[in-house]
A and B are shown apart, each in its own frame.
Chain A
Amino acid sequence: AQSVTQPDIHITVSEGASLELRCNYSYGATPYLFWYVQSPGQGLQLLLKYFSGDTLVQGIKGFEAEFKRSQSSFNLRKPSVHWSDAAEYFCAVGGDSGYALNFGKGTSLLVTP
């Protein structure tokens, strides 16, 4: 069965600093991997996705993620964080059940001035 672990429940970074959010997955075959962001009171917005090919994927809002099969990881990165990036970030994996996504518990990002 597929599963996703986001080891960091909360992360605090200063505005302008770099960011890396960790995501580890468990899945036998090549997974479909996603990062979503959720602002308070809102639904989920897709930041980026990995299906195959280039292991470094670019997303919206300046985010990127790197798929590392050897480490079963799909970490999200941003070189310079903006105050508006404060939100909840979810990593998700798909594949076993068609369109059902298996989400991690999420990482809450706080951005300080």
Chain B
Amino acid sequence: KAGVTQTPRYLIKTRGQQVTLSCSPISGHRSVSWYQQTPGQGLQFLFEYFSETQRNKGNFPGRFSGRQFSNSRSEMNVSTLELGDSALYLCASSLFGSGSYNEQFFGPGTRLTVL
């Protein structure tokens, strides 16, 4: 079974631009979560989607948004990029919805550099 895939693996953007990152979960997984990893703040939860609905959201500004498609693939978008948005963005997928707590499987991440 293929793992979580993220595209692209590396991105370089300039301040003010916007960016879209993509995540394909493990086949059959319906939940996709996004995390931002930086040396200073560590791993921080961005948001989680289940069956095309955002269920949870972390403490990030509205410039960070996401969506999930009917095939469970997810995208996240960052508008008006700032230097501080430079980070590794990790996507994680898991099986079920509420009522059980399932293991999250992480993708390799997208390394975003904002110049």
- Known A-B contacts A49-B103, A98-B55; the reply to A42 vs B43 at CB < 8 A is no
A100–B45 contact, CB under 8 A?
yes
- Known A-B contacts A43-B109, A45-B106, A46-B103; the reply to A99 vs B48 at CB < 8 A is yes
B16 at the interface (CB under 8 A from A): no
A102 at the interface (CB under 8 A from B): yes
A105 at the interface (CB under 8 A from B): yes
A100 in complex: contacting residue of B56, B103, B107, CB < 8 Å = B56
CA distance A70 to B56 in the complex (A): 30
- Known A-B contacts A51-B101, A105-B42; the reply to A42 vs B55 at CB < 8 A is no
B94 at the interface (CB under 8 A from A): yes
Question: Would you give the 0/1 interface string for B1-12, flagging 1 where the beta carbon is closer than 8 Å to chain A?
Answer: 000100000000
B4 in complex: contacting residue of A43, A49, A99, CB < 8 Å = A43
> Within A26-75, which residues are at the interface with B (CB < 8 Å)?
32, 36, 41-46, 49, 51
Total residues of chain A contacting the partner, CB 8 A:
24
- Known A-B contacts A42-B108, A46-B103; the reply to A100 vs B33 at CB < 8 A is yes
B104 at the interface (CB under 8 A from A): yes
Residue of B nearest to A42 (CB): B108
Residue of B nearest to A92 (CB): B43
In the complex, what's the smallest C-beta–C-beta distance from A41 to chain B, in angstroms?
Answer: 8
Binding site for A on B (CB under 8 A): 4, 31, 33, 35, 42-45, 48, 50, 55-56, 58, 90, 92, 94, 98, 101-109
Show 18 residue pairs from A and B whose CB-CB distance is below 8 angstroms, ordered by the A residue. Answer: A36-B106, A41-B108, A43-B4, A43-B106, A43-B109, A44-B106, A46-B105, A51-B101, A97-B45, A97-B56, A98-B48, A99-B56, A99-B104, A100-B56, A101-B33, A101-B45, A102-B45, A106-B42
